[in-house]
Structure 1
C-alpha cells in the first residue's frame, strides 16, 4: 500500500451532526436495502443486477423521495433541486454540495459520491460511502479512487469467520465495509488505510451507521506496530504485475504477488495466540512451479494455514479485466500501452496464470502447524466463513487425536452422499467412479474406491474404526494391518473436510 500522490487535496468531511441528519433522511425515505428492493420489485432488481437499469428507473418514478435517492445514487441520474431538497431534508442541498455528496449541474443535481444501502443475512442495515464508479463518472477513475462494495469485498465478507472476539483489525479498510460486518461480532474494531481519502469516506460510513471504529492511517501493519488482535481481516491491493501504483485500491507498488506474500508473512505476528486472520490474495502460477509450494513458502513458523484457490486466470484475461475495472478501454491507446507493459512483465517472469482465493491463518501457539493449499473452484452457496471456523476446529481435533483415530468411532453426516458413475460393459453396468459429495458448506467431493465406500458404510457411530477395518479385512480376505495403513490417511482427509465426524 504505497502512497500515491493525491489528485486532489480536498477530502470529504462529514460531521457527526450531518451524518445524523442524513441518516434521518434515509430512514424517513426508506433508503435501505429492504426499502430499495420493495420499491423496485423483483423483476427490476434482477434487471438492475444484470446491468440493465431501465426497469429500475421506471419503478423509481412512483417511489417519491426514495425514488429520487435511487435515481441519484444507484442510477446516476440528474434530479431537480426541488426533488433533491425533499429527499434530503433535514440536510440542505447546499450542505450536501459543500461536502461533495451532491454536485450542481446546469439542470439540477447529480451524485458526487456513492452512498449505497448494504445489509447482511442477520438483519444488518447499513450505508456505505465510496467514490462513483466509472459508469457513473463517465471516464476512468482517478488514482485516489475509493472502491465501492464489489464482488471481491462481498466474497471476503462471506469468507470471514463470525465467532465473537474482543479485538479485530480491518487492514486496508477502504470504504469500511469489512469493519461494518466485524462490528456485529467484535467488541472493538480498528481500521487502517494508507489512503487519506479512504479513511475520510470510511469515517463517514461509520458515523452514518453510528459505529465507534478506531481509524489509523499508514502503510501495511505500521499503524498497529507492537499491537495484537484476536482477529484480522484484510482485503489488500492484491493485483499482480509490474511494481507500480496506478490506483491505491488495487496496486501495492510491489512486484508480482509480493503484496499477498507480505500480508501472509507478517499478519500472524499481530495475532494473539489462537487468533485468526483472513484475507483475499493472489499468487502467480509460474511455469515449472507448483502454486501450493509457492504460497506455503510465505508462511512464518507456528501458523496454521488454509489456502483456498477459487480461480486461475489467463494472463491476457486478467489484464483486460483489471483495465475495464478502472474504466480503461483495452482498445484505446492507453489500454494498449498498459496491456503491453503488463503482458511483457508476465512473459519475462514465466507467468502462465494468476491464482486468486482466500487465506485463513491462525497463530498456533507453539503447536505443530497444519498447512493445506487446495482448489475449490466449484460453485457453492454456503458462506465459506463458517466452514473456515469448523475447518480450524477439525484441524485442532486431528492434532489432538491424530494418534488415536483407530480407537475412534465415526459417522458420516447426513449431508454426505455417495455418487456412482456406471459404465455399460459386456457383463452389464460396471461402477467406474465412486464419489463422496458433501452437499452443504463448500460442497467438497472425494473419489473413493470400493473398499473405502464399504468402510464408510459402517461408520455409523457404533464401532470404532479399528473394529470396522478388521471386519472388512476378514470379509475381503485382506490384511487388517495393510488395510489400516491405507485407510487412516483417507479418514484424516475426510475428517478435515467435514465428511466424516468423530463420535467419541
Structure 2
C-alpha cells in the first residue's frame, strides 16, 4: 500500500519561506522519533496491540475500542494514549518512555500537575517500502467518524485520511529532479515526494499547515522541503516541475469556513484553476495529479466540463469515482464539520445555504475523482474521461504511468504500423466464457484484469483468440492471418476491421506493446 495509518501554533512567513513559532520545535525530533520507535509506536505495532477491530475503528475516528485495549502501562500503551488517543498520562509513565524534559521544552507535551498531555496529534504511517513515518496534525482532527472534527477553527490542520492515501497511491513514483505539493496540509504528499525527488517544494495558504509539514518530515526522519506560503501557483510563479501533486480544498461550499476543505472560490473554480494552471508549470514529460470535486450542471455533460479544463499540450486521464446528489453532498460535509451536533436552527440554515449555492449554479450533483495530466506536448492530445466506481488495487502509480505510455504508443502508430507491432497479454488477465449451461458455444467472452483498475471487457471470438495468442513473438498481423485461416475468413477484411479493437485493448491495459528487438 502507498501508506497505511492509524486513522486520518502558528507560523510566520518571510519572502515565502516559513519559520514556525508556537508549534513544537523540530530540531530535537530525532530524540522523540527514537523513543517512539523503541516503544514500537508503528503501524504494525498498533495492529498487534489493538487487534484488527479496534485498529479499524481508529480509521473511523472511533477511539473507545482502542482506549479499552490500552488500559495498562506498557511503553506502547502509554504512547498510544498520549499521542494517538490524546489522553493525559502520568508524568512518571511518560518519563519512562520519552525524553520528557526535551519533549516539554520543545512543546510536544505540556505538564499539568502529575500528568502530561500532547499538544499535537502524532500518528504512525507506513511508507511504501516499509518505512516507519509519523504524521503530525492538530489535536482531535482525524478525518472521518460519526462526530465530525473536533474543531471549527478556520486554520485547522488535519492528519491523514482516505483522500490523502488515495492520492499517494495513484501518484507516479519515478525519480525526478523537482516535485511540487500544492496545499500540503500536514505534509503527507511531501513526505512521499522527498523519497524520490531531488528537491521538493510544498505550499499552503495556511501557514499552520506548513509548520505541521515541517514537523511531519522531521519526525519521520525525512529530508526537509522548501516550504512556501500562498495560494495555488502563486508561490512558484515562473517555476516548473517534473511532478505536481495536490489534494486541494476541493469541497464545493457556500463560503470558506474551513481552510483545509473549502476553496473559497465559486463552485468548482478552485479545482478548474488548479488543473488549468498546471500546464505552464510542468516540464516536458512531467505529471500533475490531483483529487478534485466537480459540478454536474443541468444541460452539460460532466465529461465535457472536465475536458475544457485540460491545458494545451497535456494528455489527461480523468476518473470519476463517485457521484452524490446535492442533498447527500451537503449532508456529508455538514457532518464532517460537526454541524449536525449544533443548534437545529443553525444546522438548517447552513443546509439551506448549501442548497441555495447549488441552485444558483444549476448544479444537480457533484462528482469526485482523480485527474492526471501528462505534459506530452502533442498537438493531438488524448483526453480520457470515464466513470469508474468499481474497486481498484492500490497503489496505482505504475498503472497510471503505463496508461500514458500506451497513449504515446498508440498515437505514434497508425493502423498499418499497429499490425506490424508485437503485443503481450498483461499479467493476471483471465478469460471468462459466459453462456447457458450445456451450450456448445459461449454467448460471449470476457477478459478480466485482476490487478490495477480491474477492468473487464467483452470480446468476440476474434478478440479472444487474438488476446490469447499475444505473447510477444508474432506480430499482430501474423496473428490475425492465422485466425482468418482458422475461421475461414478473408485475412484482408479481418486486418481492416480489427485495429480499432486492438487499440481499445491496448488503451485499457489488456495488451501491452512489446519493444522491437535490437
What TM-score results when the alignment is normalised by the length of structure 2? 0.87
**Contact 2:206-2:259 within 8 A present in 1 as well:** yes
1:296 pairs with one of 307, 312, 315 = 307
Q: Which residue of structure 2 aligns with residue 65 of structure 1?
A: 75
Q: Which residue of structure 2 aligns with residue 95 of structure 1?
A: 105
Q: Which residue of structure 2 aligns with residue 3 of structure 1?
A: none
Once residues 224 and 346 of structure 1 are traced to their aligned partners in structure 2, the CA distance between those partners, rounded to angstroms, is 33
Residue 509 of structure 2 aligns to a residue whose secondary structure is coil
Once residues 293 and 226 of structure 2 are traced to their aligned partners in structure 1, the CA distance between those partners, rounded to angstroms, is 28
Residue 266 of structure 1 aligns to a residue whose secondary structure is helix
Residue 413 of structure 2 aligns to a residue whose secondary structure is helix
Cα 1:109–1:414 change in 2 (3 A) is: closer
Alignment map for 1:46-125 (pairs within 5 Å): 46-49=56-59, 53-62=63-72, 64-92=74-102, 94-95=104-105, 99=107, 101-102=108-109, 108-125=115-132
The range that moved more, 358-367 or 12-21, is 12-21
The range that moved more, 411-420 or 64-73, is 411-420
Shift of 1:434: 2.6
1:385 paired with 2:385, answer no
Shift of 1:11: 5.4
**Contact 2:429-2:449 within 8 A present in 1 as well:** yes
Alignment map for 1:121-140 (pairs within 5 Å): 121-133=128-140, 139-140=150-151
1:37 paired with 2:47, answer yes
Q: Which residue of structure 2 aligns with residue 340 of structure 1?
A: 352
1:224 paired with 2:236, answer yes
**Contact 2:410-2:503 within 8 A present in 1 as well:** yes
**Contact 2:11-2:211 within 8 A present in 1 as well:** no
Once residues 383 and 253 of structure 2 are traced to their aligned partners in structure 1, the CA distance between those partners, rounded to angstroms, is 26
Cα 1:481–1:106 change in 2 (3 A) is: farther
Shift of 1:273: 0.9
Residue 378 of structure 1 aligns to a residue whose secondary structure is coil
1:421 paired with 2:434, answer yes
Q: Which residue of structure 2 aligns with residue 206 of structure 1?
A: 217
**Contact 1:380-1:441 within 8 A present in 2 as well:** yes
**Contact 1:11-1:197 within 8 A present in 2 as well:** no
**Contact 2:297-2:365 within 8 A present in 1 as well:** yes
The range that moved more, 433-442 or 158-167, is 433-442
Q: How many residues align?
A: 493
Alignment map for 1:149-298 (pairs within 5 Å): 149-210=160-221, 211-242=223-254, 244-298=255-309
1:448 pairs with one of 450, 459, 463 = 459
Cα 1:106–1:319 change in 2 (3 A) is: farther
Once residues 468 and 281 of structure 1 are traced to their aligned partners in structure 2, the CA distance between those partners, rounded to angstroms, is 43
Once residues 176 and 225 of structure 2 are traced to their aligned partners in structure 1, the CA distance between those partners, rounded to angstroms, is 15
Q: Which residue of structure 2 aligns with residue 360 of structure 1?
A: 372
1:325 paired with 2:317, answer no
2:495 pairs with one of 480, 484, 501 = 484
Cα 1:257–1:482 change in 2 (3 A) is: farther
Deviations 1:303-329 (A, max 9, x none): 011111111122221111112222221
Cα 1:174–1:299 change in 2 (3 A) is: same
Q: Which residue of structure 1 aligns with residue 5 of structure 2?
A: none
The range that moved more, 394-403 or 86-95, is 86-95
**Contact 2:406-2:513 within 8 A present in 1 as well:** no
Shift of 1:151: 0.5
Shift of 1:430: 6.4
The range that moved more, 211-220 or 455-464, is 455-464
**Contact 2:238-2:281 within 8 A present in 1 as well:** yes
Once residues 137 and 459 of structure 1 are traced to their aligned partners in structure 2, the CA distance between those partners, rounded to angstroms, is 52
Unaligned runs of 5+ residues in structure 2 are: 1-8, 13-19
Once residues 239 and 483 of structure 1 are traced to their aligned partners in structure 2, the CA distance between those partners, rounded to angstroms, is 50
What TM-score results when the alignment is normalised by the length of structure 1? 0.89
Once residues 501 and 63 of structure 1 are traced to their aligned partners in structure 2, the CA distance between those partners, rounded to angstroms, is 55
Shift of 1:395: 1.5
Once residues 279 and 152 of structure 1 are traced to their aligned partners in structure 2, the CA distance between those partners, rounded to angstroms, is 10
1:13 pairs with one of 1, 13, 23 = 23
The range that moved more, 59-68 or 309-318, is 59-68
Residue 418 of structure 1 aligns to a residue whose secondary structure is strand
1:495 paired with 2:515, answer no
Shift of 1:84: 3.0
Residue 498 of structure 2 aligns to a residue whose secondary structure is helix
Cα 1:263–1:485 change in 2 (3 A) is: farther
Shift of 1:8: 11
The range that moved more, 456-465 or 222-231, is 456-465
Q: CA RMSD in A?
A: 2.8
1:435 paired with 2:442, answer no
Shift of 1:94: 4.2
1:407 paired with 2:414, answer no
Cα 1:91–1:484 change in 2 (3 A) is: farther
Once residues 450 and 345 of structure 2 are traced to their aligned partners in structure 1, the CA distance between those partners, rounded to angstroms, is 48
Residue 17 of structure 1 aligns to a residue whose secondary structure is coil
Once residues 490 and 327 of structure 1 are traced to their aligned partners in structure 2, the CA distance between those partners, rounded to angstroms, is 50
**Contact 1:169-1:233 within 8 A present in 2 as well:** yes
Unaligned runs of 5+ residues in structure 1 are: 1-5
**Contact 1:237-1:252 within 8 A present in 2 as well:** yes
